């Protein structure tokens, strides 16, 4: 059943990009960067994305494609009789945790699209915008209603196995989102005081970067690329052997980074211009962005389009998260797709209620999944390549498209030595810090 999800194998790279690009870029990246002092965080984030996260992305795609199965089955097929498939269980658990808070924020995105339509965001002051967000985030009933609407939408798509159709739309809608973001960047950069915001983003002040900031940059890099929990392993299994995984992986990471970076180029100039604290936390995008719509020609129409496109970007990510759990139940536990989708959506809705009632639980789920489970999972995935799959099998998978990969030697070295030491080092240091702090 799970094999039927994507009819067009060429679309699988676009689907993986759809999973990567989402609220992680536009909502999470700016707020985590804002809390960690700006430019220095960006510097470390770039390093982690291209040096550490891309090799893991390529490892996941290669493992999935080689096995031709979703994550759990992939590890069982490539390492039969071992415990490596436990990575799959951690992924399923992680998908639950991420979806529970991600669906809340996705619900807010829908709600803001609705507010834009009815004109509630028009002509209100930055202070009123903050009050509006505070009311929204502290009203569990509103959050829960919109969260269920969003989970329902996700379940509808996954249940009917029509991801392929969604990806076709998102191939048009994603470039539209990118174009809109570029236009908003131009407007943001011409706001009074914008340059202070740009300096906050681009001028690295390493004295503001704590070890926790480094740790969070690593987690954010993994979260943004959807790696460390098998999502990309599952998508890898849908990719045709004719596709060049290396160039595909770099394109996904490049696009993902660009959208996150440009979102920050809008948000920080906007925050500084309207007197909003850049470190104000998860509400950052909702209290800064709508202000800019009030400053542009046809702002109301633009705000509607923006929040609708953001909801679509969130949807392609929630689909990939729900798919991890559903494909597990379908291929490992003999469920049918429809009941599995409904059951999982219901359970996630219940967990999401906890996040709606308590911002502490919301942050806890956010932190544990991005900063502990994803790096932990990624560590095992990356150990799998040299120690189980083997160098030559990995090379043959990356070169299956017929192109010799000149970067292979460097890539393999990075995967074998640099990535495990970097992730292990950061994780151990942070855990020791917690224990003694
Ligand atoms: N990468 C998504 C984003 O940036 O919004 C979030 C995500 C999707 C994380 C799927 C993990 C995942 F498996």
**Distance between the two ends of the chain, CA-based, in angstroms?**
49
**Smallest Cα–Cα separation from 29: which of 50, 52, 46, 16?**
46
CA 212 to chain centre: 20
pLDDT of residue 397: 95
CA distance 8 to 320: 16
The token duo for 244 is: 């060049």
Q: Ligand 1 in contact with 318 (CB < 6 A)?
A: no
Q: Ligand 1 in contact with 321 (CB < 6 A)?
A: yes
Q: Ligand 1 in contact with 97 (CB < 6 A)?
A: no
For ligand 1, atom 9, the nearest C-alpha belongs to 226
Q: Kindly report, residue by residue over 90-136, the tens digit of the pLDDT.
A: 999 999 999 999 999 999 999 999 999 999 998 889 999 999 999 99
Residue 2 is classified by DSSP as G
Q: What angle do CA 291, 297, 302 make, to 5 degrees?
A: 65
pLDDT at 354 > cutoff 90: yes
Q: How far is the CA of 389 from the centre of ligand 1 (A)?
A: 26
Range 354-358 average pLDDT: 97
- The answer to whether the Cα torsion of 257, 361, 423, 332 is positive or negative is negative
Nearest atom, ligand 1, residue 317 CA: 8
Q: How far is the CA of 20 from the centre of ligand 1 (A)?
A: 5
CA distance 128 to 77: 56
Helix (H) or strand (E) holding 291: helix 284-293
Nearest atom, ligand 1, residue 314 CA: 5
pLDDT at 381 > cutoff 80: yes
Q: Please count the other Cβ atoms lying within 10 Å of the Cβ belonging to residue 193.
A: 13
pLDDT at 61 > cutoff 80: yes
For ligand 1, atom 7, the nearest C-alpha belongs to 226
CA distance 341 to 97: 16
Backbone angles phi, psi at 403, to 5 degrees: -100, 130
Which residues are CB-neighbours of 204 under 8 A, at least 6 positions away?
38, 39, 40, 42, 43
Q: Ligand 1 in contact with 90 (CB < 6 A)?
A: no
Domains in the chain and their CATH numbers?
9-436 (1.10.4160.10)
Nearest atom, ligand 1, residue 95 CA: 13
CA distance 319 to 154: 6
pLDDT of residue 1: 36
The pLDDT mean for the chain works out to: 93
Q: Ligand 1 in contact with 22 (CB < 6 A)?
A: yes
Q: Ligand 1 in contact with 370 (CB < 6 A)?
A: no
pTM attached to this predicted model: 0.95
CA distance 396 to 425: 30
pLDDT of residue 4: 47
Range 239-260 average pLDDT: 94
Range 219-230 average pLDDT: 97
Range 295-306 average pLDDT: 90
Q: Of 9-18, 194-203, 273-282, 299-308, which range is least confident?
A: 9-18
pLDDT at 2 > cutoff 50: no
Percent of the chain with pLDDT over 90: 81
pLDDT at 347 > cutoff 70: yes
pLDDT of residue 13: 86
Q: Ligand 1 in contact with 32 (CB < 6 A)?
A: no
Chain length of the chain: 437
pLDDT of residue 162: 66
Range 135-144 average pLDDT: 96
């Amino acid at each position: 059943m799970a094999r039927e999800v994507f009819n067009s194998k060429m679309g699988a790279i676009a689907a993986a990009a759809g999973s990567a690009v989402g609220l992680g870029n536009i909502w999470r990246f700016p707020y985590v960067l804002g809390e960690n002092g700006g430019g220095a965080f960006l510097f470390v984030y770039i390093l982690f994305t291209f040096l550490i996260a891309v090799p893991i992305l390529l490892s996941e795609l290669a493992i999935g494609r080689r096995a031709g199965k979703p994550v759990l089955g992939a590890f069982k097929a490539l390492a039969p009789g071992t415990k490596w498939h436990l990575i799959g269980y951690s992924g399923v658990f992680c998908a639950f945790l991420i979806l529970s808070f991600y669906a809340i924020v996705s619900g807010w995105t829908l709600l803001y699209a609705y507010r834009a339509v009815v004109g509630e965001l028009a002509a209100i002051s930055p202070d009123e915008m903050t009050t509006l967000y505070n009311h929204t985030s502290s009203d569990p009933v509103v959050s829960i209603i919109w969260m269920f609407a969003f989970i329902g939408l996700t379940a509808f798509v996954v249940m009917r196995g029509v991801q392929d159709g969604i990806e076709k739309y998102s191939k048009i809608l994603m470039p539209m989102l990118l174009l809109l973001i570029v236009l908003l960047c131009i407007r943001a950069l011409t706001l009074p005081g914008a340059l202070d915001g740009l300096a906050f983003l681009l001028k690295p002040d390493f004295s503001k970067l704590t070890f926790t900031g480094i740790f969070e940059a690593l987690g954010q890099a993994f979260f943004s690329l959807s790696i460390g929990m098998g999502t990309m392993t599952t998508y890898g299994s849908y990719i045709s052997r004719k596709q060049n995984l290396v160039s595909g992986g770099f394109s996904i990471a490049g696009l993902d980074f660009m959208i996150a970076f440009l979102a920050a180029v809008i948000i920080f100039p906007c925050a500084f211009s309207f007197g909003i604290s850049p470190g104000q936390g998860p509400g950052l995008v909702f209290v800064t962005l709508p202000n800019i719509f009030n400053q542009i020609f046809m702002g109301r129409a633009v705000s509607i389009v923006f929040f609708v496109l953001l909801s679509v970007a969130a949807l392609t990510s929630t689909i990939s998260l729900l798919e991890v759990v559903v494909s597990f139940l379908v291929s490992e536990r003999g469920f049918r797709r429809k009941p599995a989708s409904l059951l999982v959506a219901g359970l996630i809705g219940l967990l999401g209620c906890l996040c709606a009632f308590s911002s502490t639980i919301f942050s806890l789920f956010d932190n544990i999944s991005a900063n502990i489970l994803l790096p932990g999972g990624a560590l095992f995935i990356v150990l799998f390549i040299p120690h189980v799959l083997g160098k030559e099998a990995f090379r043959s998978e990356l070169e299956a498209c017929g192109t010799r990969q000149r970067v292979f030697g460097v890539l393999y070295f990075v995967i074998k030595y640099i990535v495990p030491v970097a992730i292990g080092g950061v994780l151990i240091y942070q855990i020791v810090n917690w224990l003694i702090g």
